[in-house]
Amino acid sequence: MTPDARTAVAEAFTEEWGRVVATLIGRTGDWDLAEDCAQQAFAEAVRRWPRDGVPDRPGAWLTTVARNRATDRLRHEQMKTRKLREASDMAARHAPGDDDPAAEPDDSGIEDERLRLMFTCCHPALPLEGRVALTLRALAGLTTAEIAHAFFVSEPTMAKRLVRAKGKIIHAGIPYRVPPAHLLPERTSGVLAVLYLLFNEGYAASAGDHLIRIDLCGEAIRLARALTALMPDEPEATGLLALMLFQHSRRLARVDAAGDLVTLENQDRARWNRAECDEAEVLLQGALRRRQAGPYQLQAAIAACHAGAPTAEATDWAQIAGLYERLLEVMPQALVRLNHAVAIGMATSPEQGLALADELVAAGELADYHLLYATRADLLRRLGRDAEAHAAYRDALQRTTSAAERRFLNRRIQETDGRR
Amino acid sequence: MNYLMFVCMDDTATPDPEDLATMRERTQSWVDEMDGRGIRVQGQRLRPQQDATTVSVRAGDVVVADGPFAETKEQIAGFDILHCADLDEAIEVASKHPVARFGTLELRPFWEE
């Protein structure tokens, strides 16, 4: 294959997979058929594009080929009468000239199909792990093996998870649609939560040796981009995309040559991806102008404060602490309180930060979360209370399995050990 | 889509006294609304677990026992058969049931070939 055609197929896969699958599910209601036929359409592109040239509208070409495959398959299964009806419906809806992929009209409904797929994959009646897996399979086009690898489970386990999720959509009657207005805010936040979970899975691997799995982050960003394009009036979707871009922009600085974690204050800011920061900033400002600041926009605004500081010392911690206070109003969660404690520890004094962290400890919140103890340890170290810091670093170490985080904590333990 | 909706209550849960006082009327108005919408096909309140009997046949013998087949804190207090467009409609119907505020509604789709 010529490099051009190869690039075109790869690009089309990234851009069009979700759209092709979504369109076919919309037409046939059959998820497996949709995936199979989309797969075949891409295989066909690999064969034909080098020979015939890349079509003007690759997406339309792929959709038509996939749809024709689906129609053929359904015709072959004529015994199954219900599907036959769908096949004839599909055929009826398209004129004869339709077999020529180039003749595919630009269907304005196609964009909506993808949005429909997103809401269906993220339906709250599906188990969370099923939502994540299905989103990666149906929308991002990752293979079952790739998803299994990303979540450290075996391929049969992941295959089972996908089969169960698809089965529940059909059998429990989960509708394939964009939810009506009264459900939209709640369901949209459900979609955003799945995308953010996906990003965080990639950002901080919960187990294993690699701290950052860039692929999952990249997929989450791609899906968030698609969502913001489909829901331009949803500032929280834009806020989420901005948040992801800010965090992703630091990926090279976040880990050192040995694969160890580098905290924000010690990161080489020259290695932050400026283009991504700038894009995030523009997105965030656009979203904030709507004056409906929700959790994602506020978190992105906090990330923007860090991105805008030329050095760690120049960080506007007072503003960050203020943003965390606003975030606590809409998201009164222990994790936000912990981050607020960190910000107060910087903006006001380590004592006050420690007092807030100790409130969490006293309330039994985040008892298994290593960063609560690492935060306490850090504040204690800054107060010169090295013996207590040392103990707190040990508490943190007991609570994480990530190899990179463990190396970081072990270094701190050695440092405080020498000064005890 | 047809769903069997189990109306479940934790037998140790204590609903709001205010909830209890108006329970009967609110259940009736839920029944009236769902009957009117053509959603509720049938429904029934059930006697508690102490009135339950379990039956099985093992090695040809009919085994009869007092009580429910599984001891759980959640009791099935009643059921409704719902005819809905899709799960979202069934969720909306279930969320309007007065028991939803202190108990749990379980939606089980019918097995359809």
Give the DSSP letter string of A168-230: HHHHTT---SPPPTTTHHHHHHHHHHHHHHHHHHHHS-SSSS-S--HHHHHHHHHHHHHHHHH
β-strand B104-109 against B2-10: which pairing, if any? antiparallel
- pLDDT at A92 (0 to 100): 55
Low-confidence ranges of chain B (pLDDT < 70): none
**CB contact set of A114 (below 8 Å; sequence gap of 6+):** A18, A19, A22, A139, A226, A230
Give the C-alpha separation, A230 to A77, whole Å: 35
Give the C-alpha separation, A120 to A126, whole Å: 9
- pLDDT at A338 (0 to 100): 97
Neighbours of A126 (CB within 10 A): 23
Give the C-alpha separation, B13 to B5, whole Å: 20
The alpha carbon of residue A24 is apart from the nearest alpha carbon of chain B, in Å, by 20
Interface residue A183 vs chain B (CB under 8 A): yes
Give the C-alpha separation, A188 to A231, whole Å: 10
Output Rg (C-alpha) for chain B, integer angstroms. 16
The residue count for chain A: 420
**Could you give the angle at the alpha carbon of A224 between the alpha carbons of A219 and A228, nearest 5°?**
150
Taking contacts as CB-CB distances below 8 angstroms, the residues of chain B near A171 are 109, 112
Give the C-alpha separation, B94 to B90, whole Å: 6
- pLDDT at A79 (0 to 100): 61
For the question of whether the overall pTM of this predicted structure is more than 0.90, the answer is no
Q: For chains A and B, count residue pairs whose Cβ atoms are closer than 8 Å.
A: 24
Substitution target in A80, A83, A123, A171 with the highest count of B β-carbons within 10 Å is A171
- Fill in the DSSP letter of residue A137: I
Element (H, E) at B105: strand B104-109
Q: What is the pLDDT of residues A295-304, one digit of tens each?
A: 999 999 999 9
**A19-48 b/e with 16+ CB inside 10 Å = b?**
bbbbbbbbbbebbebbbbbbbbbbebbeeb
User: Taking CB atoms and an 8 Å limit, are A175 and B87 in contact across chains?
Assistant: yes
Which residues in B have their CB inside 8 Å of a CB on A? 1, 3, 84-88, 90-91, 107, 109, 112
**B4-32 b/e with 16+ CB inside 10 Å = b?**
bbbbbbeeeeebeeeeeeebeebbeebee
User: Taking CB atoms and an 8 Å limit, are B1 and A173 in contact across chains?
Assistant: yes
Is residue A361 a contact partner of residue A389, using CB atoms and an 8 Å limit? no
Substitution target in A126, A174, A178 with the highest count of B β-carbons within 10 Å is A174
Low-confidence ranges of chain A (pLDDT < 50): 94-110, 206-207
Structure tokens at B11: 């037998």
ipTM comes to 0.89
- pLDDT at B21 (0 to 100): 81
Taking contacts as CB-CB distances below 8 angstroms, the residues of chain A near B87 are 123, 125, 172-175
The interaxial angle of helices A3-28 and A58-76, nearest 10 deg, is 50
- pLDDT at B67 (0 to 100): 83
Structure tokens at B46: 């059930």
Q: What type of residue sits at position A219?
A: E
Burial label for A374, CB within 10 Å (0-12, 13-18, 19+), is buried
What's the CA dihedral at A364, A369, A370, A375 to 10 degrees? -60
Interface residue A82 vs chain B (CB under 8 A): no
Spacing of C-alpha A208 from chain mean position: 19
- pLDDT at A81 (0 to 100): 64
